[in-house]
Amino acid sequence: MLVSYKWLQEYVDLSGVSAEELGEKITKSGIEVEGVETLNEGLRGVVVGHVLECEKHPNAEKLNKTLVDIGAEEPVQIICGAPNVAKGQKVAVATVGAVLPGNFKIKKAKLRGEVSNGMICSLQELGIEAKLVAKEYSEGIFVFPEDTEVGQDALALLGRDDQILELGLTPNRADCLSMLGVGYEVGAILGKDVKLPEPAPTTASEKAADYIKVNVEAKEDNPLYVAKVIKNVKIGPSPLWMQSRLMAAGIRPHNNVVDITNYILLEYGQPLHAFDYDLLGSKEILVRRAKQGEEITTLDDAKRTLSEDHLVITNGTDPVALAGVMGGANSEVNADTTTVLLESAYFTGPVIRKSSKDHGLRSEASARYEKGVDPERVHPAAERAAELMAKYAGGEVLEGSVVADTLSVEPAVVSVTLEKINRVIGAEVSMQQVEDIFAKLKFESTVDNDTITVTVPTRRGDITIEEDLIEEVARLYGYDNVPKTLPIGASTPGKLSEYQQKRRLVRRFLEGAGLYQAVTYSLTSKDKATQYALEKRDPVELAMPMSEDRSLLRLSIVPQLLEVLKYNLARQTDSMAVYETGAVFLKQDGEDLPLEEEHLAAAVTGLWENHQWQGEKKPVDFYVVKGILEGMFAKLGLEDKIAFAAAEKDGMHPGRTAEVSLNGEVIGFVGQVHPTVQKDLDLKETYVFELNLKAVLEAGTEPLQYQAIPRYPSITRDIALVVDKNKTAAELQNIIVEVGGKLLKDVYVFDLYEGERMEEGKKSIAFSLKYFDPEKTLTDEDIAKTHEKVLKAVEEQAGATLRG
């Protein structure tokens, strides 16, 4: 809502409060003022001029040479390019020295050899938005009424010496979609009275009831309909001040009758509609739901097909307006209109919202009906409009209104105790203060001991329960006056859950290992949704996606991270390591909600180690990424519960991929992205993993137990085993560990040889075995037996021979 500071003064005394101060006060106590705009900011030197002479420019087809009286001693010559400039007009002249929007300074100039002492202005040139300029002036200069005094400040005359407060209204404050509503709000804030207009149109002897009958069939949608008839109107421009106010509020002027309906809409918040009575084609108004397939052409010349969801005003048979949204073209007020049928009605929100939405048509009227108008303003608004039509359109208002009224409105009566008010706010407000606040709001209240009972005017439909009253007290008491306290009560231990703590540990570990955390979108395309999924499931699909790319919920994170790598690689990054933790979504049969599983994924490409001037460069490989996982599992105390096994997976390198299992259950995979996928995405060698993080974090761990520091030395035996190429290190190690028993403290691979010195199909793999006894110093004899058994076992079970 755009509120004119000058107009507002008609309802509330604003003396001593500047527009900026008022904006600040309104913001602090209820409605956010998003800006205060000074309309003539930076503009000066524009006066009303009288075009004394106007002839074609001798050297330019499209220019005119005019002589303009600007109230100075001598008239001045001005060259004007506007097509509609003519002798005798009163116009806005930017004189030499004037400044127009954009800091455009007017100087004496020569145009095609002719001197021009200024510029005759269009409204657009004076800073008014083109869409707000009345149609007749939209392509040229603006023309003032004939009787306008020459030499006066044209900007003031156009109401540009004003400031506009832009109110950002929350949906509950529809009452402030009117000047009167804002008047009440400002009156309450400043503690001032509100002056209401008191419409009292003088009426003709003829009765409106003799001209029109009103029937409402759809009583639920339209419980109150008021019709008035104004005869003998003369259609013409509305007064300049009214046009100015409309433009300042963002409404384009049309003619006096239409402008008056819009003016009342702004003043009362009550939408009105003016029909050309003679074009109605009947003496009847019937309000009903539209018939399926019924059509209407609205004022914007659009043909609209209606349904039973929409409410229409008809002449008994055909629609003449889409109720509460827009009038029909067939009954539009036009230059020849002489009798106006004025509608002031109360339509309920839902039906108007439906119409407005279905037809993609939001009007000033529909916006107000959707949020609810004040039923008590339906009659006064009609009277006020009729009065103005008599005054500014020369009309005769027929006696009485024709009314269909099934509306029962009772103002809400709400009680609250002072104790509750203070208990919720946490301040010490007195009953006197509370009473004063409601008095300022012009709400009637009575006090009985500790309880105040408030009768809420219908204009404030947002107030229905005691909390609403408390809010009114709080905001007018002032949030600045509310003390700052902290909750008192039973203390609650603040902590992360074990799961949350471990998740942070995982993140910190990965970051310490060199990975950056990424956050990507959960919504993805059909192709990517199921790629690299740990489990084959149908993806969850949106009912109405905004785009194909964001139409399904992901089942895995890896595809998103590959996109991240692709993006960065295209931007001069060669090496990159990212990880993400986040939910993936698995459809569940028989369940409303999908299963949300937290996953951990990573993608690494390029150089893993790179010490530039020392020339050390090591690209990432499988074992780098596996090492990160092993380190992470060790940190979580899960190293003994995790196993890696060769696996094949779509989109992964068949020889460089392992599945990861936890306690025997597969929980993820790690490996190189398949070279064809790499190529498709313009990636170089890239390694990824994805794990069910939830399973990892929820896996039970052993309690931490101190192990005695060894007091005796251990004995190490290194063995190089020659085995078939396809024997895995894990197979051999498992045999060694099993046979090594208690004495074998540790075993690890320290060498791998697959070179040409080996027999075809064989490789050599070397283990270091550490034997240890916590009770004594071992001798070679102590371990000889066990070591022999180990060698025998690997030979028997894995065909391993000791490398000579």
Partner 1 sequence: MQERLKELQAEALEKVAQAADLKELNDIRVSYLGKKGPITEVLKGMGKLSPEERPKMGALANEVRDMISGAIEEKQITLEKAAVEKKLAAEKIDVTLPGRPVSEGNHHPLTRIIEEIEDLFIGMGYTVAEGPEVEKDYYNFEALNLPKGHPARDMQDSFYITEEILLRTHTSPVQARTMEARNGKGPVKIICPGKVYRRDNDDATHSHQFTQIEGLVIDENIRLSDLKGTLDVFAKKMFGADREIRLRPSFFPFTEPSVEMDISCKMCGGKGCGTCKGTGWIEILGAGMVHPNVLEMAGYDSKKYTGFAFGMGPERIAMLKYGVDDIRHFYTNDIRFLKQFSVTE
By DSSP bridging, strand 576-586 and strand 552-553 are unpaired
What contacts 723, CB < 8 A, 6 or more positions away?
732, 762, 763, 764, 765, 798, 799, 800
In angstroms, rounded to a whole number, what is the distance separating the alpha carbons of residues 451 and 382?
Answer: 39
Smallest distance, partner 1 to C-beta of residue 363, A: 16
Shortest reach from residue 297's CB to partner 1, in Å: 27
Interatomic CA distance for residues 715 and 746, integer angstroms: 11
Residue in 282, 251, 252, 238 with CA at minimum distance from that of residue 385: 238
Q: For partner 1, give the closer residue by CB, 426 or 799.
A: 426
Q: How far is CA 769 from CA 518, 716, 732, 744, 791, in A?
A: 41, 6, 12, 7, 11
DSSP for 106-155?
---EEETTEEE-SEE--TGGGT--GGGS-GGGTTS--EE-TTPPTTSBHH
Q: How far is CA 129 from the centre of its chain?
A: 26
CB 610 → partner 1: shortest distance, Å?
8
Q: Which is nearer to partner 1, 461 or 582 (CB)?
A: 582
Least distance between partner 1 and beta carbon 337 (Å): 36
Identity of the amino acid at 546: M
Q: How far is the CB of 204 from partner 1 (least distance, A)?
A: 43
Let me know if 318 is exposed, middle or buried by CB neighbors in 10 A (0-12, 13-18, 19+). middle
Indicate the residue among 433 and 610 with the shorter CB distance to partner 1: 610
Instruction: Tell me whether residue 494 or residue 761 sits nearer to partner 1 (CB atom).
Output: 494
Give the shortest CB-522-to-partner 1 separation in angstroms: 6
112-115: long-range contacts, CB 8 A cutoff, minimum separation 24: 112/57, 112/59, 112/60, 112/63, 112/79, 113/58, 113/59, 114/57, 114/58, 114/59, 114/65, 114/77, 114/79, 115/77, 115/79
- Tell me how far apart the alpha carbons of residues 602 and 558 are, in angstroms, rounded to a whole number: 7
Would you say 692 and 727 are in contact if contact means Cβ atoms under 8 Å apart? no
Strand pairing category for 295-297 and 595-605: unpaired
Alpha carbons within 13 angstroms on the beta-carbon side of residue 368 total 31
Least spacing, CB of residue 512 vs partner 1, in Å: 6
Distance, in Å, from the CA atom of 632 to the CA atom of 626, rounded to the nearest integer, reads 10
Task: Please answer whether residues 383 and 200 qualify as being in contact, where contact means their C-beta atoms are separated by less than 8 angstroms.
Answer: yes
Q: Which is nearer to partner 1, 186 or 794 (CB)?
A: 186
Minimum distance, C-beta of residue 484 to partner 1, in the bound complex (Å): 4
> Is the CB of 135 or the CB of 495 nearer to partner 1?
495
Q: How far is the CB of 307 from partner 1 (least distance, A)?
A: 18
- Select 545 or 799, whichever has its Cβ closest to partner 1: 545
Do 137 and 124 meet the contact criterion of CB atoms below 8 Å apart?
no
**Least distance (Å) between residue 369 CB and partner 1:** 12
Nearest approach, Cβ of residue 478 and partner 1 (Å): 10
Closest residue by Cα to residue 628 from 729, 513, 518: 513
| Min dist. Cβ of residue 545 to partner 1 (A) | 8
Residue whose CB is less far from partner 1, 548 or 780: 548
Rounded distance, CA 804 to CA 211, Å? 120
User: What minimum distance in Å lies between the beta carbon of 443 and partner 1?
Assistant: 16
Burial per residue of 328-341, b for 16 or more beta-carbon CB atoms within 10 angstroms, e otherwise: bbbbbbeeebebbb
Nearer Cβ to partner 1 (423/785): 423
Largest pairwise CA distance in the chain: 132
Name residue 345's amino acid. Answer: A
| Pair 629, 696: CB distance under 8 Å | no
Query: Is 661 exposed, middle or buried (CB count within 10 Å of its CB: 0-12, 13-18, 19+)?
Result: middle
Closer CB to partner 1, 682 or 788, in the complex: 682
**Rounded CA separation 524/579 (Å):** 18
Distance of CA 582 to the CA centre of its chain: 24
Which residue reads 């896996």 in tokens? 699
Task: Give the residue with the Cβ less far from partner 1, 202 or 481.
Answer: 481
Q: Are 525 and 552 in contact (CB under 8 A)?
A: yes
Distance of closest approach, residue 289 Cβ to partner 1, in angstroms: 18
Give the shortest CB-564-to-partner 1 separation in angstroms. Answer: 4
Sign of CA dihedral 740, 743, 747, 750: negative
What's the closest the beta carbon of residue 34 comes to partner 1, in angstroms? 8
Using the minimum distance from each CB to partner 1, give the nearer residue, 516 or 712.
516
Q: Are strands 44-56 and 32-38 parallel, antiparallel or unpaired?
A: unpaired
Q: Compute the least distance from the CB of residue 42 to partner 1, in Å.
A: 16
* Core vs surface per residue 677-700: b (16+ CB within 10 A) or e: bbeeeebebbbbbbbbbbbbbebe
Name residue, tokens 């992360």. 496
Cβ closer to partner 1: 337 or 605? 605
Closer to partner 1 by CB, 3 or 342: give it.
3
Q: Is 480 helix (H, G, I), strand (E, B) or coil?
A: helix
Nearer to partner 1, 488 or 709 (CB): 488
214 by Cβ neighbours in 10 Å (0-12 / 13-18 / 19+) ranks as: buried
Identity of the residue, 246 or 469, whose beta carbon is nearer to partner 1 in the bound complex = 469
The whole-angstrom separation of Cα 87 and Cα 390 is: 32
CB of 631 to partner 1, least distance (A): 14
**How many Cβ atoms are within 10 Å of 519's Cβ, its own excluded?**
9
